[in-house]
């Protein structure tokens, strides 16, 4: 594995170098805005952007915007009566252009791996995964809302990254972890990391909070129906306004809706992010709704992350990025939900 | 890798099934012969019917795999896509994506057993597929009992076939309507009542029950009384679906995905799930 040492200027030059041949995205300066329609708020194209300095914590919205873009065109068709192929659904040309995501945090990198459990056979997700190179930034500090260590991650984790960049006191070290990462750095005049850099990196990795899933793992052994019937959902459901903000910013919420869209006889079938917080999500055409109550929908989101997903795939469907904790308008905190669930008898 | 691309099919024929005109059976023929040959389903599976410009809907496959050359879907006019479908004509193109789901255990738990099929209303569709399949492989199964009820004689589906099946001596047919009706000489009474009177023996038997939830609820006690257990009874669940491939999450009942793990479950399996269906 190659490890390079970069100054701030060298790092910025490297990003601009990549921008010449590929589409490069980075967390938007100021965290909120996005000047481009091809990614969610919180990210921007790196071309001509300023120095790559990141605020602590993850970007405003998650990396799923690049692997699971919305809308994603699933099929196209013509509805023109003169067209012999009228109403024939066709697969669109798949995007193959390389995209480089710079500045995602270890939590987001881990979310890509988790979503890949259900999406292993999904052609769109896999195509996007195949054309995306991830250059992550490890975390120097954890925000007050961060809890990746409790979910089995770590602020210094490199899982899922092609290149992991760590900010040291006076420089950056870039660990090249995969062939895709090597391709990005091949032929460039980069200084190898000094012995002191490597020592500092090792020390950082040793001193940072370590993955500790032990407390939560006891949830996996608990009876599903007991947790489902726990009284805590009632109170939680009363606070939750089902706005769905948590599901949109969540890196591991992966459900989608499919709709048809026709403009002047040209149609396409698209998929885009949905939210189990919305009553329409589960509504039958008969009018019957299996999750017709607000509380049932709130419960479904937490149970999916903490019980249903682990039961199907193993790990929890949460990486502890803390975005939902930051953005919930009624201050629902998944860490408190977890603590409460752990006490359910 | 999953393919979300539906197969193009032509509507070959449309049969209005019921007196209210709300149920029509669509006979679909593949445009591409190779796709038709590659299509293999088991009774109880469903498929997505795909209308360009409208959307996709999960519908149980009403034809048996033994009926070659076409697929049948009996569709209730209820929402956007089904209403659009009901307005279409023979010769027009739609799409079919599937087959999806698990289907009834025709080659495993049902093999060699007596089969009791209990259907209410238009939930009979996949059970039609099953009955035809069983009759085509008659020697593989024991006694076959088919109990089917509708509100009125005019709401019974597949009426010509019901008359044909009634002539057979290797299938016991009990067709009932809710109330007396002019010209109706058959059974009168709700499905649970008739099931209680027929009292099929649970010994070496499997029951497949599809119908409105209220019918299923009241059909179980008379069966339990004569010794039927929850793991002998197969039900088919329905939930809102988008992908049918276990990804979009819409149809989840707790950790279970109706599209992928079902739609067919034993009653014992269903009872272990949260009531979100």
Query: What is the chain B residue with the closest CA to A87?
Result: B52
Tell me the C-alpha distance between A272 and A267, whole Å: 16
Give the up-direction half-sphere exposure of residue A118: CA atoms within 13 A in the CB hemisphere: 26
State whether B48 and B120 are in the same domain. Answer: no
pLDDT digits (tens, 9 = 90+) for B100-139: 999 999 999 999 999 999 999 999 999 999 999 999 999 9
pLDDT for position A36: 60
Q: Which residues of A touch B277 (CB under 8 A)?
A: 290
Q: Residues of chain A with pLDDT > 90: what percent? A: 84
Q: Which stretch of DSSP H or E encloses residue A294?
A: helix A294-303
DSSP string, A115-174: HTTGGGG-HHHHHHHHTEEEEEE--SS--TT--GGGGT--TT--TT-SEEEEE-SS-EEE
State whether B132 and B32 are in the same domain. Answer: no
How far off is chain B from A257, nearest CA to CA, in Å? 6
Alpha-carbon distances of A133 from A139, A267, B180, rounded to whole Å: 19, 32, 70
pLDDT for position A307: 95
Q: Is residue B243 part of a domain?
A: no
- Tokens of residue A234, six digits: 């009632």
Instruction: Give every strand in the sheet of A23-27, ordered side by side.
Output: A43-45, A23-27, A99-104, A132-137, A163-167, A172-176, A2-6, A191-192
pLDDT digits (tens, 9 = 90+) for A214-272: 888 889 899 999 999 999 999 999 999 999 999 999 999 999 999 999 999 999 999 99
Q: Which residues of B touch A307 (CB under 8 A)?
A: 255
Four-point Cα dihedral B200, B205, B206, B209, nearest 10:
0
State whether B129 and B216 are in the same domain. Answer: yes
Is the per-residue pLDDT at A31 higher than 80? no
Residue range(s) defining the domain that contains residue B69: 7-99
Q: Is residue B186 part of a domain?
A: yes
The values of phi and psi at residue A31, to 5°, are 70, -30
Residue B253: strand pairing partners: B256
How far off is chain B from A141, nearest CA to CA, in Å? 35
State whether B14 and B79 are in the same domain. Answer: yes
Is B53 an 8 Å CB contact of chain A?
A: yes
Residue ending a domain, choose from B35, B65, B99:
B99
Alpha-carbon distances of A231 from A212, A296, A340, rounded to whole Å: 27, 12, 10
Tell me the C-alpha distance between A103 and A149, whole Å: 19
Alpha-carbon distances of B164 from A271, B16, B185, B188, rounded to whole Å: 45, 19, 16, 20
State whether B90 and B125 are in the same domain. Answer: no
Alpha-carbon distances of A214 from A27, A142, A210, A317, B158, rounded to whole Å: 32, 20, 11, 16, 58
ipTM score of the complex? 0.92
Q: Is residue B154 part of a domain?
A: yes
Residue among A213, A271, A251, A275 at smallest CA distance from A114: A251
pLDDT digits (tens, 9 = 90+) for B234-265: 999 999 999 999 999 999 999 999 999 999 99
State whether B63 and B28 are in the same domain. Answer: yes
- Is B252–A262 a contact, with Cβ atoms under 8 angstroms apart? no
- Give the nearest partner residue to A281 out of B51, B250, B255, using CB atoms: B250
Q: Is residue B251 part of a domain?
A: no
Is the per-residue pLDDT at B183 higher than 70? yes
pLDDT digits (tens, 9 = 90+) for A297-315: 999 999 999 999 999 999 9
Tell me the C-alpha distance between A336 and B11, whole Å: 55
How far off is chain B from A261, nearest CA to CA, in Å? 6
Question: What's the domain count of chain B?
Answer: 2
Average pLDDT, chain B: 96
- Tokens of residue B88, six digits: 């279409």
Is the per-residue pLDDT at A124 higher than 90? yes
- Tokens of residue A27, six digits: 């967390």
- Is B252–A300 a contact, with Cβ atoms under 8 angstroms apart? yes
Query: What is the chain B residue with the closest CA to A292?
Result: B276
In this structure, are residues B142 and B114 in contact, taking their beta carbons and an 8 Å threshold? yes
Residue ending a domain, choose from B64, B99, B134:
B99
Is B271 an 8 Å CB contact of chain A?
A: no
- Give the nearest partner residue to B1 out of A89, A126, A269, using CB atoms: A126
Residue-range domain boundaries for chain A: 2-210, 216-342
Which of A282, A299, A302 would best serve as a mutation to test chain B binding (most B beta carbons within 10 A)?
A: A282
Three-state SS letters, B4-44: CCCEEEEEEEEEECCCCCCEEEEEEEECCHHHHHHCCCCCC
Q: Is residue B38 part of a domain?
A: yes
Q: Which residues of B touch A276 (CB under 8 A)?
A: 249
Is B22 an 8 Å CB contact of chain A?
A: no
Q: What is the DSSP letter of A90?
A: B
Burial of A214 (0-12, 13-18, 19+ CB in 10 A): exposed
- Give the nearest partner residue to A258 out of B56, B93, B255, using CB atoms: B56
Residue ending a domain, choose from B34, B67, B99:
B99
State whether B89 and B125 are in the same domain. Answer: no
Q: Is residue B128 part of a domain?
A: yes
Q: What is the DSSP letter of A307?
A: I
């Amino acid at each position: 594995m190659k490890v390079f040492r970069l100054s701030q200027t060298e790092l910025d030059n490297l990003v601009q170098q990549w921008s010449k041949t590929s589409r490069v995205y980075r967390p938007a300066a100021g965290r909120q805005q996005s000047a481009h329609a091809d990614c969610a708020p919180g990210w921007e194209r790196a071309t001509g952007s300023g120095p790559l300095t990141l605020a602590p914590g993850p970007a405003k919205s998650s990396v799923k915007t690049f692997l699971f873009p919305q809308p994603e065109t699933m099929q196209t068709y013509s509805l023109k009566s003169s067209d012999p192929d009228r109403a024939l659904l066709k697969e669109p040309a798949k995007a193959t252009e390389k995209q480089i995501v710079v500045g995602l945090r270890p939590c987001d990198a881990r979310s890509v791996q988790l979503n890949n459990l259900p999406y292993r056979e999904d052609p769109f997700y896999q195509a996007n995964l195949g054309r995306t190179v991830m250059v992550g930034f490890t975390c120097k500090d954890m925000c007050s809302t961060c809890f990746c260590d409790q979910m089995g991650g770590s602020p210094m984790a490199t899982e899922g990254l092609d290149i992991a960049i760590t900010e040291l006191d006076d420089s950056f070290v870039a660990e090249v972890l995969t062939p895709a990462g090597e391709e990005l750095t091949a032929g460039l005049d980069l200084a190898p990391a000094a012995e002191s850099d490597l020592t500092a990196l090792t020390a950082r990795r040793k001193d940072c909070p370590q993955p500790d899933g032990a407390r939560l793992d006891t949830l996996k052994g608990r009876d599903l129906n007991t947790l489902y019937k726990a009284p805590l959902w009632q109170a939680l459901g009363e606070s939750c306004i089902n706005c769905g903000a948590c599901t949109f910013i969540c890196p591991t919420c992966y459900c989608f809706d499919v709709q048809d869209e026709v403009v002047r006889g040209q149609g396409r079938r698209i998929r885009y992010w949905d939210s189990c917080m919305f009553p329409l999500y589960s509504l039958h055409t008969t009018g019957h709704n299996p999750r017709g109550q607000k509380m049932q929908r709130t419960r479904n989101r937490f149970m999916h992350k903490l019980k249903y997903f682990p039961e199907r795939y193993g790990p929890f469907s949460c990486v502890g990025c803390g975005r939902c904790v930051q953005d919930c308008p009624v201050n629902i905190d998944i860490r408190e939900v977890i603590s409460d669930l752990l006490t359910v008898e | 890798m999953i393919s979300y691309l539906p197969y193009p099919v032509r509507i070959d024929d449309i049969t209005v099934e019921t007196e209210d005109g709300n149920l029509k059976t669509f006979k679909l023929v593949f445009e591409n012969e190779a796709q038709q040959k590659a299509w293999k389903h088991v009774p109880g599976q469903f498929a997505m019917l795909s209308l360009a410009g409208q959307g996709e809907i999960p519908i149980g496959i009403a034809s048996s795999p033994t009926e070659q050359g076409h697929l049948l879907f009996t569709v209730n006019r209820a929402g956007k896509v089904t209403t659009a479908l009901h307005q279409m004509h023979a010769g027009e193109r739609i799409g079919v994506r599937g087959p999806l789901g698990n289907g009834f255990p025709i080659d495993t738990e049902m093999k060699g057993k007596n089969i009791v099929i209990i259907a209410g209303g238009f939930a009979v569709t996949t059970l039609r597929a099953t009955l035809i399949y069983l009759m085509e492989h008659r020697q593989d199964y024991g006694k076959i009992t088919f109990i089917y009820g509708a509100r009125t004689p005019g709401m019974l589906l597949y009426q010509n076939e019901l008359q044909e099946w009634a002539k057979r001596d290797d299938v016991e047919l009990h067709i009932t309507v809710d109330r007396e009706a002019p010209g109706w000489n058959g059974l009168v009474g709700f499905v649970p009542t008739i099931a209680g009177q027929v009292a099929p023996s649970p010994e070496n038997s499997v029951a497949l029950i599809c119908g409105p939830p209220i019918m299923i609820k009241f059909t179980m006690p008379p069966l339990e009384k004569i010794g039927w257990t929850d793991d002998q009874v197969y039900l088919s669940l329905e939930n809102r679906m988008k992908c049918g491939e276990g990804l979009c999450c819409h149809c989840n009942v707790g950790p279970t995905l109706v599209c992928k793990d079902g739609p067919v479950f034993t009653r014992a399996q269903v009872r272990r799930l949260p009531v979100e269906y």
